[in-house]
Each structure stands twice: as structure tokens, then as C-alpha cells.
């Protein structure tokens, strides 16, 4: 209890100066309840590897308030192989949330995700990343911890996240949202209103980013990429990934395209952060996922990645954009400027405040036995003792890692 109050005080002192797109939900009971035939619940819990579209939903309540659901389906890729499923929800009418900022505005969501966090050890990684990325202006989405029930079956702890596509279309003026796949490919492309450029023009503009990597070098490469995308935001994401050891990067990012007077321009939105503190990047032992425009690359161990980097402070070079930035001296110098900026944002107090916010939000859920009971269906089961141990360990690790990276730069 003493630790909780110290965390809460730290949260009050250090977090209040930042704009946050989160709040304690303004509903009496922070639980989503989906009511459906028992046979449908069985299908959801027993299914593996396939998405299920629920067309027999009777009702959805949140905070004891009823909402009409237009569409509900399970979501994810690897997460579909677990009993606790994640869901994509599309309401008929928006669900309002009152903000606790100076403007006291109300946000409302018709589309959102309910993420089961089955890979997210002790449930801190995604939410911590959201809080920290928000301070870098890279995470504008609304997210909070919640609970979920299918009829009377409690499913444990979830993370509410507003729909990224919807946000980018409505708030960033995106014409197209692209989910990147491996080797510079596109796994999914969503379209809003198109202007003078066709969907195919956006596809080709995205592919041209990778062509640019081989056509230019040095300052010319940086300038050309700056015309095509927000390369500094991309570098800041790389810097953050270096700080938190984000092992899963390539396919966990959205590129959203807008129309400018000079053509198509892309910016980025990071996505799933359930594999931070990874120790090693995903390219190790995954030759099928590694970019190949600079030739075939294979890394059978983390040491092989580190040997190739020769001390350059980049955590992953799986994708060719990271590889080009790592081994072009001018690009790497620009990256180091962004890395210094990120480290300056995350001084010791800010890191502690970010962790304190996660603790204040998450710790109360660990007082409910059902949360730990349902975690046995995740990759790793959790409980309050494991949570507090992992929390302390990762807090100390991140402060030490920031100091170490700073020393390497100097």
C-alpha cells in the first residue's frame, strides 16, 4: 500500500504537466459485457487461428450503460491462438468519454479495439509505451485498462484503444492508411476520401520510399526521404525502440498518406508494443522477415547483429529503412540528433512518472483475483507479486539503459 501511494504521488507531481489522451473512464463500472448465445461464446473461446464475426450479439453494456453494436469480431494474428480473444468493436452510435484536461472536452468513439494483452507480460508494456510515446507526440490515441465479460464469463484484463484507422482519417486528414509488412511490402491498405491521387498512386509512393534508399546517399538521401515521409518522426520512433528494446517493429507500424501540393506524403503511427525489453531484435533467426534491397542478410545470433552495427546505437535493422539509416554516415548523424532529443525528453523523473502512472492505473486490477486467474490463458501467467517485481525491475532497467545510451553517445 505504501508503494502504491508513492506511485500515486509521483504521478501527480510529474505527469500533470503533460497532455494525456487518457482518463479514468467516467462510467460506474469499468467492464464491457457482451451478451450472446452460449454456443457463440464457446466458438470464440475454442477457436484458433481464425477470425470470428459475431452476428448473434444480443447486447453490449459498458459501465451498466447499453450501446448498440453494429459489428463485432475477434482480431489479431498470433493472438487468435489463445482462449482470451481480442475484439474489434464498431458501435452504431458513439460512446462518449469526458476528458480530464483543461478544455474538459468529450471524446466519443464508434470504433475501438479491446486488446487481451496475451503477450504483454504483467500487462505493463503496451500502456507504458502509450504514455511514453505520447510525450514524443507519436501516440495520440486514447487507451485505458478495462475488463471484459462474455455473458457471465469473466475474461480478465483488457486494454481499450481507439481505432487507429478512424483516428487518422478523422483527425490527421489521412487519405490512405497503410499497415506495413515485411520486406517493405503492404499487408493492408485502408482508404478514406481520395483527392487527385488514386489508391494505386499511394501504393507506388510507399514503394518509392524503398527505391529512394538505393538511389541516394548522405544529405541527398535525407532530403529526398524528407519529401516523401516524416523521416524525423521515424527516427524518433527508432530511438524510442532503442531505449525500450522493442523487438517487434517492422509490421507494427502504420504509414498514413496525405495529399500535398508536391505529391503524396507519409507520416507514421506506431502500433503494438507488447514485446519491449526484448533483449534481442526480431531479425535474429528470421531470415524470411529481413529486408533484402541491400542484398540477402541473415543473423543467426544477436552477436551477429551487434557485430554488423559496430557500436551504432540502433536496436533493430530488420527493415531496410533502419538498415539504410544505420550505415549511411549522414543519416546516422541525423538519427543521433533525434536519439539525443528522445533521451532529453525521458530524464529520470519522466521515466519514473511514466511508470508511476502505469502503476496507479494497473495496480487496482491486481486486487481482483479474477485477473490473475484469467492470465493462465496468456503466454505467461501473472499475479500481484510478479507485477510489482517486474515493475521495479523494468523501471530500474530503463533508467540504467538511458544512462548507458547517453554514455555511448558521449
Check residue 109 and report its DSSP letter. Answer: E
253: buried, middle or exposed (CB in 10 Å: 19+, 13-18, 0-12)? middle
The SS3 call for residue 187 is strand
- State residue 77's pLDDT score: 87
Q: How many whole angstroms separate alpha carbon 303 and alpha carbon 19?
A: 40
Q: Which three cell numbers stand for residue 4?
A: 502504491
312: buried, middle or exposed (CB in 10 Å: 19+, 13-18, 0-12)? middle
Residues 206/255, Cβ–Cβ less than 8 Å: yes
Residues 238/206, Cβ–Cβ less than 8 Å: no
Q: Please compute, for residue 36, the number of CA atoms within 13 A of its CA located in the half-sphere on the CB side.
A: 21
Q: How many whole angstroms separate alpha carbon 170 and alpha carbon 164?
A: 10
In 3D space, the residue among 165, 136, 128 whose CA is nearest the CA of residue 234 turns out to be: 136
- State residue 85's pLDDT score: 97
- Give the DSSP letter string of 50-71: S--B-----EEEETTEEE-EEE
Q: How many whole angstroms separate alpha carbon 382 and alpha carbon 359?
A: 15
In angstroms, the Cα distances linking 263 to 143, 196, 202, 217, 267 are 33, 9, 10, 22, 13
- State residue 16's pLDDT score: 35
| pTM for the full predicted model | 0.91
Mean pLDDT of residues grouped by 10 in the chain (410 residues)? Answer: 41 36 59 96 96 94 93 94 97 83 74 97 97 97 96 97 96 96 96 91 97 98 98 98 94 96 95 94 96 96 97 98 98 98 98 97 95 97 97 98 96
The SS3 call for residue 5 is helix
Strand ranges (DSSP E) for 232-391?
Answer: 253-260, 263-270
End-to-end CA distance of the chain: 40
Q: How many whole angstroms separate alpha carbon 256 and alpha carbon 254?
A: 6
* C-alpha gyration radius of the chain: 22
In 3D space, the residue among 163, 195, 160, 157 whose CA is nearest the CA of residue 176 turns out to be: 195
- State residue 107's pLDDT score: 85
- State residue 26's pLDDT score: 60
Kind plus residue range of the DSSP H or E element containing 148: strand 143-150
- State residue 99's pLDDT score: 64
- State residue 13's pLDDT score: 37
Kind plus residue range of the DSSP H or E element containing 367: none
Amino acid at each position: 500500500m505504501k508503494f502504491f501511494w508513492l506511485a500515486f504521488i509521483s504521478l501527480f507531481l510529474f505527469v500533470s504537466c503533460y497532455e494525456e489522451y487518457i482518463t479514468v473512464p467516467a462510467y460506474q463500472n469499468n467492464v464491457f459485457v457482451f451478451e450472446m448465445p452460449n454456443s457463440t461464446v464457446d466458438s470464440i473461446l475454442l477457436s484458433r487461428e481464425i477470425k470470428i464475426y459475431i452476428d448473434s450479439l444480443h447486447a453490449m453494456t459498458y459501465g451498466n450503460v447499453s450501446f448498440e453494436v453494429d459489428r463485432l469480431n475477434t482480431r489479431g494474428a498470433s493472438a487468435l491462438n489463445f482462449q482470451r480473444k481480442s475484439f474489434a468493436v464498431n458501435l452504431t452510435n458513439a460512446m462518449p468519454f469526458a476528458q480530464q484536461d483543461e478544455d474538459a472536452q468529450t471524446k466519443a468513439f464508434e470504433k475501438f479495439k479491446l486488446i487481451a494483452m496475451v503477450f504483454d507480460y504483467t500487462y505493463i508494456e503496451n500502456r507504458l509505451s502509450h504514455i511514453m510515446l505520447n510525450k514524443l507526440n507519436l501516440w495520440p490515441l486514447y487507451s485505458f485498462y478495462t475488463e471484459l465479460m462474455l455473458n457471465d464469463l469473466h475474461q480478465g484484463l483488457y486494454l481499450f484503444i481507439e481505432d487507429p484507422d478512424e483516428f487518422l482519417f478523422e483527425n490527421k486528414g489521412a487519405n490512405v492508411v497503410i499497415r506495413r509488412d515485411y520486406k517493405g511490402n503492404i499487408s493492408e491498405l485502408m482508404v478514406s476520401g481520395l483527392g487527385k491521387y488514386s489508391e494505386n498512386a499511394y501504393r507506388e509512393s510507399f514503394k518509392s520510399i524503398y527505391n529512394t534508399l538505393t538511389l541516394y546517399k548522405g544529405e541527398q538521401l535525407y532530403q529526398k526521404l524528407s519529401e516523401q515521409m516524416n523521416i524525423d518522426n521515424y527516427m524518433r520512433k527508432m530511438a524510442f525502440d532503442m531505449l525500450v528494446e522493442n523487438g517487434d517493429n517492422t509490421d507494427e507500424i502504420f504509414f498514413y498518406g496525405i495529399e500535398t501540393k508536391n505529391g503524396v506524403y507519409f507520416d507514421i503511427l506506431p502500433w503494438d508494443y507488447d514485446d519491449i525489453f526484448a533483449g534481442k531484435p526480431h531479425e535474429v533467426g528470421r531470415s524470411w522477415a529481413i529486408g533484402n534491397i541491400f542484398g540477402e542478410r541473415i543473423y543467426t545470433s544477436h552477436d551477429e547483429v551487434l557485430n554488423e552495427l559496430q557500436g551504432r546505437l540502433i536496436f533493430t535493422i530488420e527493415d531496410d529503412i533502419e538498415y539504410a539509416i544505420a550505415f549511411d554516415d549522414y543519416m546516422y548523424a541525423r538519427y543521433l540528433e533525434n536519439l539525443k532529443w528522445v533521451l532529453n525528453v525521458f530524464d529520470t523523473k519522466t521515466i519514473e512518472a511514466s511508470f508511476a502512472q502505469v502503476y496507479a492505473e494497473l495496480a487496482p486490477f491486481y486486487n481482483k483475483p479474477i485477473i490473475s486467474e484469467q492470465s493462465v490463458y496468456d503466454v505467461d501467467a501473472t499475479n500481484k507479486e510478479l507485477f510489482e517485481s517486474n515493475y521495479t525491475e523494468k523501471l530500474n532497467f530503463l533508467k540504467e539503459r538511458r544512462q548507458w545510451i547517453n554514455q555511448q553517445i558521449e
